[in-house]
């Protein structure tokens, strides 16, 4: 059988792969940076072995690295000296762990027979068992038209203020993501798990190519990757966002994240936004966080329920459980409405305070003990409106 068979033949039939294909040199620092970005997409426990591998493709002095779990993929690249262009696949976790242990300097990567990949650095010489390039799934290309430029800092802020409120129950399919709403001069993101809802809207944005509004449901896992991309993406001021019928695309610098779309209808969240919560109290976030964390230690482990009692110029937080005991904390603050007692899940309140950075003041708004409470930062940020709606608990 000819040894010059195409590396894209349908299956590894055990014949020798073309020898000397893919031969590159790359610096450890650059390679490690891109492997770190891509490795979180790789599925740890997969029934499809090829998904545990990175795809390496080398051409034109670039090494392109692709990782996918079929639902989402990340493609990234770094500079490389390409002696011979080509492609190979390498076990992702093993490679990442190994490269981390190498000293700084140049690393040469070469495809050998039978999909083995040789990695040399200084006095280290390692051969890893790869798999046929042909088995690696096709990853969709970023669309050539229709992309929208979104300010990276704005998007990062919105993701961090909503991602924690997404449902983790697989059965609640349309709640397993956050809704991104783009308009010509504003953008919003909403997430809910049925017990709480986080809604953030940013004004004064300029989104070219958007007329009316564009609504997109982004899966939670993709949002997590997006958050990493926005954090490690360097100085890129903008992220490009595009979609087609099945896939979402996010491009930042040289990295492209793709994700399968969530289908289905996101609930009508506007219907649950409280309209007449006319009793309110303003407290320092730090004071509220401290009181909640102390009192939550003594809440029922399963429900995390705490009681908020509002009386003349005082906010009291209490909890009790048969196992742990009971605890109460109070904060002095102006309050001149009827007394009110309402129960909430303490973890949900703490999540919100963490999302706003636990600084400044926070406003708690109530109607009565049976209606949803609303929390929002009490800062005069004209560009951003952030609110968090919480269903009360029976205590």
- Please name the fold of domain 23-135: DNA Polymerase III; Chain A, domain 2 (3.10.150)
pLDDT tens string 173-185: 678 899 999 999 9
CATH number for the region 148-269 comes to 3.10.150.10
Predicted pLDDT at 356: 92
Predicted pLDDT at 394: 84
Predicted pLDDT at 206: 86
pLDDT tens string 275-333: 999 999 999 999 999 999 999 999 998 999 999 999 999 999 999 999 999 999 999 99
Question: How far apart, in whole angstroms, are the C-alpha atoms of residue 145 and residue 31?
Answer: 30
Question: How far apart, in whole angstroms, are the C-alpha atoms of residue 77 and residue 227?
Answer: 19
Classify 263 as helix, strand or coil: coil
Q: Which residues contact 263 (CB under 8 A, 6 or more apart)?
A: none
- Residue 226 vs residues 5, 41, 61, 155, 256: alpha-carbon distances, Å: 39, 11, 27, 9, 10
Structural domain boundaries in the chain: 23-135, 148-269, 274-390
Say yes or no: domain 274-390 is CATH 3.10.150.10. Answer: yes
pLDDT over 70 percentage in the chain: 94
- Residue 298 vs residues 111, 217, 301, 302, 330: alpha-carbon distances, Å: 59, 37, 8, 11, 15
Question: How far apart, in whole angstroms, are the C-alpha atoms of residue 54 and residue 43?
Answer: 11
Average confidence (pLDDT) over 64-89: 96
Confidence of residue 109 (pLDDT cuts 50, 70, 90): very high
pLDDT tens string 7-19: 333 333 333 433 4
Confidence of residue 197 (pLDDT cuts 50, 70, 90): very high
The burial of 280, by beta-carbon neighbours within 10 Å (0-12 exposed, 13-18 middle, 19 or more buried), is given as middle
Predicted pLDDT at 11: 39
Residue 205's CB: how many other CB atoms inside 10 A?
18
pLDDT above 60 for 250: yes
Question: How far apart, in whole angstroms, are the C-alpha atoms of residue 308 and residue 312?
Answer: 13
* Nearest alpha-carbon partner for 292 in 347, 341, 342, 364: 347
pLDDT above 60 for 75: yes
Cβ pair 362, 288 in contact under 8 A: yes
Q: Sign of dihedral through CA atoms 350, 351, 356, 357?
A: positive
The burial of 238, by beta-carbon neighbours within 10 Å (0-12 exposed, 13-18 middle, 19 or more buried), is given as middle
Predicted pLDDT at 253: 87
Q: CA triplet 13, 20, 91: central angle to 5 degrees?
A: 60
Predicted pLDDT at 272: 85
Average confidence (pLDDT) over 157-165: 95
* Same fold for the pair 23-135 and 148-269: yes
Confidence of residue 46 (pLDDT cuts 50, 70, 90): confident
For residue 347, the surrounding DSSP H or E stretch is helix 346-355
Strand 384-390 with 81-84, pairing: unpaired
- Residue 87 vs residues 90, 112, 365: alpha-carbon distances, Å: 10, 11, 58
Confidence of residue 5 (pLDDT cuts 50, 70, 90): very low
Predicted pLDDT at 19: 42
Predicted pLDDT at 234: 67
CA atoms within 13 A on the CB side of 135: 17
Question: How far apart, in whole angstroms, are the C-alpha atoms of residue 167 and residue 174?
Answer: 9
pTM: 0.88
Q: Which of 92-106, 186-200, 231-245, 329-343 has the lowest mean pLDDT?
A: 231-245
Question: How far apart, in whole angstroms, are the C-alpha atoms of residue 328 and residue 291?
Answer: 8
Classify 56 as helix, strand or coil: strand
Predicted pLDDT at 4: 38
Predicted pLDDT at 380: 66
Residue 40's CB: how many other CB atoms inside 10 A?
13
């Amino acid at each position: 059988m000819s040894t010059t068979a195409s590396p894209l033949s349908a299956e590894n039939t055990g014949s020798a792969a073309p020898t000397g294909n893919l031969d590159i040199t790359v610096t450890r620092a650059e390679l490690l940076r891109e492997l770190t970005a891509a490795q979180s997409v790789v599925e740890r426990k997969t029934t499809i072995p090829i998904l545990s591998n990175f795809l390496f493709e080398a051409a034109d002095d670039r090494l392109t690295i692709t990782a996918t779990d079929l639902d989402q993929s990340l493609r990234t690249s770094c500079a490389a000296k390409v002696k011979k262009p080509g492609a190979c696949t390498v076990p992702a976790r093993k490679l990442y762990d190994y490269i981390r242990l190498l000293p700084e300097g140049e690393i040469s990567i070469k495809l050998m027979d039978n999909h083995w990949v040789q990695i040399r650095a200084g006095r280290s010489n390692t051969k890893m068992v790869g798999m046929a390039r042909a088995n690696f799934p096709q990853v969709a290309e970023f669309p050539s038209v229709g992309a929208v430029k979104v300010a990276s800092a704005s998007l990062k802020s919105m993701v961090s203020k909503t991602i924690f409120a997404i449902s983790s129950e697989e059965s609640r399919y349309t709640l397993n993501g956050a809704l991104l709403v783009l308009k010509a001069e504003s953008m919003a993101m909403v997430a809910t798990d049925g017990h709480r809802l986080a809604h953030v809207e940013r004004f004064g944005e300029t989104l070219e190519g958007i007329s009316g509004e564009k609504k997109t449901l982004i899966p939670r896992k993709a949002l997590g990757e997006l958050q990493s991309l926005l954090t490690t993406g360097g100085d890129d001021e903008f992220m490009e966002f595009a979609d087609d019928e099945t896939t979402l695309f996010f491009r930042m610098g040289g990295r492209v994240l793709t994700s399968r779309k969530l289908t289905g209808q996101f609930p009508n969240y506007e219907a649950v936004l409280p309209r007449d919560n006319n009793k309110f109290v303003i407290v320092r976030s730090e004071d509220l966080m401290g009181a909640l964390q102390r009192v939550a230690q003594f809440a029922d482990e399963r429900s995390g329920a705490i009681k908020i009692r509002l009386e003349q110029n005082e906010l009291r937080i209490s909890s009790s459980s048969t196992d742990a005991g009971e605890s109460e904390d109070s904060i002095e603050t102006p309050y001149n409405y009827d007394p009110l007692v309402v129960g909430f899940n303490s973890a949900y309140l703490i999540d919100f305070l963490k999302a706003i950075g636990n600084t400044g003041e926070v406003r708690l708004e109530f109607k009565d003990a049976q209606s949803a409470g609303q929390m929002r930062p009490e800062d005069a940020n004209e560009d951003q409106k952030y609110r968090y709606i919480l269903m009360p608990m029976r205590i």
